[in-house]
């Protein structure tokens, strides 16, 4: 739920409850059922209609390609030819084949490259080659030539857990920057990681700090999904394997590659170097026109052995060498603040005995559970909003991440990175925000990436497709992905 929406609901509660409102405010949230965007039914086929999607006056939107399976990224080569990446995997343990597709002007799709280690989560193009983030069994950064030859540049990335290796982008210095998500939600392996599917496959896997960290020695008791005994309980500490306790003052050695970080590697390949760390899931990565590096961060969920309530997604300006706060801060705010206490659960406490630095101020705070992912910057006055960031918001995955009172995300927003001001740019028409499968119509579902073409006059939006949330978690629908294009109307 966005902060703006939370304030609106609080105001309604106070109006209804009068003088008793302050005492019963928490109850307003408690009595309502979760109403996330994916908590709905879907009957195929997916219908596509551009008229159901709203963009600002003077712009128009149109579908470019349909029928894609789990598309995750879009990119252009030096000749401005259009390519799309299909991830080959979706949460919900849905598997397919990762592919790099060229979209021909006549609508045909040509396969450029095929992978065997999904998901493929991001792509860039630089001087005759594609650079793809591969997040499967130990992540890799791949160099892919136009004729489909694949060469690994970086290997052994810690991508077996909840989050993966994410978008690579070439910087002004000629290095390839990429992001790596964390293994867990909040640095403690728990039963929720068994629900993600990986804990039983890799029971010794855990988060890896980028630098040495000293622990406060907090341990968390949970059920043991690795045994058949329903009475079996284990205790697990931070940055440690499931069932491994930690002690106050214990030092966990850091190393690179690590989890929850932005790293870089030479275009010739080799050992990655650390750029910044302390980021839960830095998904999108892009350089602004002024040369600054920005990343989106998917913040904590209210789940697992160490849940955190109402943590906003974040847009960060990346300063090399900086620690951004995970696992003890959310959006620059300490998790010991009462605002982050889950209802009916313990107040989160610091896991680290000492913090590398005080986290900086975010460039913008985005919606709680909005899943703010791919981003790009406008560079051409012909499109408008030069220097502003455009961010694809995949949308909430309630109730798995937490309860929300209405759909959050499911749109593209633009951000003035100097002021932190956020405005909707592409969103479904209707009285309520949400994916088309929930609110009706035939508009967008789950935007996951955005990218301007080489000229900067058209914004392309990758729509992952329909993903509902069932009793057992995400239910993605193959073949429902769409690529949209937004352009300025002639004469505007």
Which residue did the predictor score with more confidence, 67 or 106?
A: 67
SS3 286: strand
Q: Which CATH class is domain 33-488?
A: mainly beta
pLDDT in tens, 372-394: 999 999 999 999 999 999 999 99
Give the full edge-to-edge strand order of the sheet including 139-145.
120-126, 129-134, 139-145, 150-157
Give the residue-averaged pLDDT of 133-155.
96
Rounded Cα–Cα distance for residues 55 and 51 (Å): 10
Q: For position 17, what pLDDT does the model report?
A: 34
Q: Where are the beta strands (DSSP E) in 306-408?
A: 312-318, 329-330, 333-334, 364-368, 372-377, 389-393
pLDDT digits (tens, 9 = 90+) for 284-320: 999 999 999 999 999 999 999 999 999 999 999 999 9
At 352-377, the pLDDT tens digits run: 999 999 999 999 999 999 999 999 99
Average pLDDT of 101-112? 95
Computed from CA positions of residues 391, 38, 206, 368, in that sequence, does the dihedral angle turn out positive or negative?
Answer: positive
Residue 103, pLDDT score: 97
Place of tokens 């106050």: 248
Each residue's pLDDT tens digit, 400-416: 999 999 999 999 999 99
Q: What is the pLDDT of residue 27?
A: 61
> Alpha helices, DSSP H only, in 174-238?
191-195
What is the arithmetic mean of pLDDT over 194-202? 94
Domain residue ranges of the chain, discontinuous segments joined by +: 33-488
Q: Where are the beta strands (DSSP E) in 319-457?
A: 329-330, 333-334, 364-368, 372-377, 389-393, 411-416, 421-428, 447-452
Is residue 26 over pLDDT 90?
no
Provide, rounded to the nearest whole percent, the portion of the chain with pLDDT above 70: 94
Token pair listed for 327: 């696992």
Give ∠ CA 465-405-302 in degrees, rounded to 5: 80
Q: Given this model, what pLDDT does residue 244 score?
A: 98
What does the pLDDT read at residue 267? 98
pLDDT score for 13: 42
Q: Tens digit of pLDDT for each residue in 30-43?
A: 788 999 999 999 99
Residues 6+ apart with CB under 8 A from 223: 191, 230, 232, 233, 234
Q: Is the pLDDT at 12 greater than 50, yes or no?
A: no
Residue 11: per-residue pLDDT: 42
Question: 406 near 1, Cβ under 8 Å?
Answer: yes
Residue 403 DSSP one-character state: -
């Amino acid at each position: 739920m966005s902060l703006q929406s939370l304030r609106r609901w609080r105001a309604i509660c106070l109006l209804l409850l009068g003088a008793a409102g302050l005492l019963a405010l928490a109850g307003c949230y408690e009595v309502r059922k979760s109403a996330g965007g994916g908590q709905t039914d879907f009957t195929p086929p997916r219908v596509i209609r551009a008229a159901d999607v709203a963009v600002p006056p003077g712009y128009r939107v149109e579908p470019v390609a349909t029928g894609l399976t789990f598309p995750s990224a879009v990119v252009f080569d030096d000749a401005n030819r259009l390519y799309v990446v299909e991830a080959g995997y979706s949460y919900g343990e849905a598997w397919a084949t990762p592919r790099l597709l060229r979209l021909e002007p006549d609508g045909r799709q040509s396969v450029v490259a095929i992978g065997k280690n999904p998901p493929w989560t991001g792509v860039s193009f630089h001087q005759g080659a594609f650079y793809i983030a591969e997040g499967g069994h130990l992540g890799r950064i791949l160099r892919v030539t136009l004729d489909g030859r694949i060469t690994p540049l970086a290997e052994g990335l810690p991508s077996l857990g909840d989050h993966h290796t994410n978008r690579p982008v070439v910087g002004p210095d000629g290095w390839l920057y990429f992001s790596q998500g964390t293994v867990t939600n909040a640095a403690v392996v728990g039963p929720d990681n068994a629900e993600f599917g990986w804990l039983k496959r890799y029971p010794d896997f855990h988060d890896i700090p980028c630098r040495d960290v000293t622990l406060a020695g907090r341990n968390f008791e949970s059920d043991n999904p690795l045994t058949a005994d329903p009475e079996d309980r284990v205790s697990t500490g931070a940055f440690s394997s499931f069932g491994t306790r930690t002690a106050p003052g214990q030092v966990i050695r850091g190393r690179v590659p690590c989890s929850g970080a932005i790293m870089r590697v030479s275009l010739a390949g080799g050992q990655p170097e650390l750029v910044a760390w302390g980021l839960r899931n830095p998904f999108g990565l892009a350089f602004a026109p002024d040369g600054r590096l920005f990343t989106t961060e998917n913040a904590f969920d209210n789940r697992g052995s160490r849940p955190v309530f109402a943590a906003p997604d974040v847009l960060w300006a990346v300063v090399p060498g900086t620690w951004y706060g995970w696992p003890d801060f959310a959006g620059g705010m300490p998790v010991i603040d009462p605002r982050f206490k889950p209802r009916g659960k313990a107040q989160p406490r610091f896991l680290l005995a000492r913090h590398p630095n005080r986290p900086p101020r975010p460039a913008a705070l985005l919606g709680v559970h909005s899943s703010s992912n791919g981003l790009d910057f406008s560079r051409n006055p012909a499109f408008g909003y030069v220097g502003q960031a455009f961010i694809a918001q995949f949308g909430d995955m309630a109730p798995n991440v937490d309860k929300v009172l209405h759909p959050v995300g499911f749109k593209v927003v633009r951000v003035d990175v100097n002021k932190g001001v956020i405005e909707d740019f592409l969103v479904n028409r209707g009285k309520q925000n949400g994916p088309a499968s929930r609110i009706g119509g035939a508009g967008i579902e789950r935007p996951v990436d955005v990218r301007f073409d080489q000229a900067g006059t058209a914004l392309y939006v990758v729509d992952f497709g329909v993903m509902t949330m069932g009793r057992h978690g995400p239910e993605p629908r193959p073949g429902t992905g769409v690529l949209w294009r937004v352009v300025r109307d002639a004469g505007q």
